[in-house]
Amino acid sequence: MPNNSCDKPADIEYDTTRIWVIDRPNIPKAPANTERLVMMRKDLSKMDIYYLMPNGKRVRGTNDVAKFLQSHPQYKKRMSISKFCFVSPKIAEETVAEDCEWRLGLGNKKQKMKNSG
């Protein structure tokens, strides 16, 4: 792009004012008439992946996709289970504030593992 430069300041700073996540590479584009939804849990413990299907129903895994396609055979030729990816993005720990409930819970888990081993 002609007006982009590494010398220009970023639009958003990579810091703890936001929680950053890193999605896996090569996630397939959501099939036509579906939408991939990535939802952070309130306790920030992980992210859940859903797909919103053409009829408005949410599916949470490949078994749900298979059931959907079984119930709606008109979509079988347009959708393949392999085009749905339910792998959660990774939370970038360094962007989570030190006093955040998620980070405090993570510290407790590490301490328990250390004490048990």
Average pLDDT over the chain reads: 82
pTM of the model: 0.69
Residue 70, SS3 per DSSP: helix
Question: For residue 62, what is the enclosing H or E element?
Answer: helix 62-71
Cα 66 to Cα 75: distance, rounded to the nearest angstrom = 11
Cα 26 to Cα 22: distance, rounded to the nearest angstrom = 12
Strand locations in 54-116 (E): 58-59, 90-91
What's the pLDDT tens digit per position in 51-76?
999 999 999 999 999 999 999 999 99
Cα 42 to Cα 28: distance, rounded to the nearest angstrom = 27
The whole-number pLDDT of residue 68 equals 97
Residue 39, SS3 per DSSP: strand
